[in-house]
């Protein structure tokens, strides 16, 4: 059984191969002194009725999920009226977060919920992208190219340089990611009371080096989480996880890609100042 630092892939029953039926141990060997009679043949491992998870399945489902996200983002950018702009932005952000939690804590991954997340998060991405584009023309295209380039380079490095995720590496990334999220939450709460820690800046004035460094840290952590995602998906394929877990892998990758896009978008906006 595999465990992941990604909250989407970290369920205890995620990527667990199907158990043999009839309480049979497919790997049982004859004990010393007891012959293996022909009438009691060894049983082969029982494969899940739905089939096994494959890398092609994960890639296909990730493409579908991101495709839904891109389409809804384009529709939100084009058709959301001005008087509903900020309510839709806030609502899509909150609902998208709740759907992430709902999918993460379900025992069995639900493809409709995964696609629902993609649609809702697409609205959020489309609206926030339009805001940045209004201040910095061309920045959205740059952020999209940067996001897929970073993900592609990370995947290539993972495969061709034979990167291995050690327990220490995993622990460091987990702690850093949680600390980053906690810092963002504290910064958001204090900002409601007029206290600015300088970790985030959505204005158009001068920007601090701390905000740039924090956004760069977020992008680096997103890339490192992609490495963890690749590692656990690869292990899930290796142990023969059920085919339905391809949706969980696609969901985890999509969540990480959205995080990476937002961090790159924000970082580019800082540099454009």
The pLDDT score that the predictor gives to residue 19 is 45
User: Three-state SS string across 89-146, please?
Assistant: HHHHHHHHHHHHHHHHHCCCCCHHHHHHHHHHHHHHHHHHHHHHHHHCCCHHHHHHHH
Calculate mean pLDDT across residues 28-42: 44
93-97-103 Cα angle (round to 5)? 145
Indicate the range of 29-43, 95-109, 172-186, 232-246 predicted with least confidence.
Answer: 29-43
pLDDT over 70 for what percent of the chain? 79
Does residue 120 fall inside a structural domain? Answer: yes
Burial level of 110, CB count in 10 A (0-12/13-18/19+)?
middle
Does residue 136 fall inside a structural domain? Answer: yes
The pLDDT score that the predictor gives to residue 21 is 45
User: 43 or 243: which carries more pLDDT confidence?
Assistant: 243
Number of domain units in the chain: 1
Does residue 109 fall inside a structural domain? Answer: yes
Does residue 221 fall inside a structural domain? Answer: yes
Residue 264 and residue 145: Cα distance in Å, rounded? 10
On the question of pLDDT at 251 being above 70, the answer is yes
Q: What is the band of 194 on the pLDDT scale with cuts at 50, 70, 90?
A: confident
Calculate mean pLDDT across residues 125-129: 94
Indicate the range of 57-71, 148-162, 193-207 predicted with least confidence.
Answer: 193-207
65-69-72 Cα angle (round to 5)? 135
The pLDDT score that the predictor gives to residue 211 is 83
Residue 226 and residue 264: Cα distance in Å, rounded? 15
Calculate mean pLDDT across residues 32-59: 59
On the question of pLDDT at 33 being above 50, the answer is no
The pLDDT score that the predictor gives to residue 34 is 40
Does residue 94 fall inside a structural domain? Answer: yes
The pLDDT score that the predictor gives to residue 101 is 85
Burial level of 175, CB count in 10 A (0-12/13-18/19+)?
exposed
Does residue 141 fall inside a structural domain? Answer: yes
Alpha helices in the chain (DSSP H): 55-79, 85-105, 111-135, 139-160, 167-192, 209-238, 245-272
Residue 153 and residue 107: Cα distance in Å, rounded? 33
Could you tell me the residue range of the domain that residue 138 belongs to?
Answer: 51-272
Helix, strand, or coil (residue 242): strand
For the stretch 79-90, pLDDT in tens is 988 888 889 988
Calculate mean pLDDT across residues 187-208: 71
Q: What is the band of 237 on the pLDDT scale with cuts at 50, 70, 90?
A: confident
Phi, psi of 52 (to 5 degrees): -100, 150
Q: What is the band of 47 on the pLDDT scale with cuts at 50, 70, 90?
A: very low
Does residue 178 fall inside a structural domain? Answer: yes
On the question of pLDDT at 153 being above 90, the answer is yes
Q: What is the band of 64 on the pLDDT scale with cuts at 50, 70, 90?
A: very high
Does residue 218 fall inside a structural domain? Answer: yes
Beta bridge partners, 242, equal 52
Calculate mean pLDDT across residues 36-43: 44
Residue with tokens 């998060």: 121
């Amino acid at each position: 059984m595999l465990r992941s630092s990604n909250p989407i892939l970290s369920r205890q029953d995620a990527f667990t191969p199907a158990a043999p039926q009839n309480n049979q141990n497919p790997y049982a060997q004859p004990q010393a002194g007891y012959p293996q009679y022909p009438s009691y043949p060894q049983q082969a491992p029982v494969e899940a009725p739905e089939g096994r998870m494959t890398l092609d399945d994960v890639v296909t489902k990730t493409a579908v999920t991101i495709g839904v996200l891109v389409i809804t983002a384009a529709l939100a950018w084009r058709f959301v009226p001005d008087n509903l702009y900020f309510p839709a932005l806030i609502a899509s952000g909150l609902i998208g977060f709740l759907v992430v939690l709902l999918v993460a804590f379900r025992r069995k991954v639900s493809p409709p919920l995964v696609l629902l997340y993609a649609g809702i998060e697409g609205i959020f991405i489309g609206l926030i992208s339009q805001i940045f584009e209004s201040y910095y023309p061309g920045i959205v295209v740059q952020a999209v190219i940067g996001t897929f380039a970073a993900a592609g380079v990370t995947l290539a490095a993972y495969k061709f340089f034979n990167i291995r995720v050690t327990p220490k590496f995993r622990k460091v990334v987990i702690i850093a990611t949680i600390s980053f999220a906690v810092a963002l939450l504290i910064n958001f709460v204090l900002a409601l009371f007029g206290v600015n820690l300088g970790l985030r800046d959505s204005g158009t004035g001068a920007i601090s080096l701390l905000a740039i460094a924090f956004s760069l840290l977020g992008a680096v952590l997103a890339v490192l989480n992609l490495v963890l995602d690749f590692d656990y998906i690869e292990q899930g394929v290796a142990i023969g996880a059920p085919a339905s877990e391809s949706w969980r892998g696609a969901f985890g990758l999509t969540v990480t890609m959205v995080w990476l896009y937002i961090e790159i978008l924000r970082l580019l906006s800082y540099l454009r100042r």
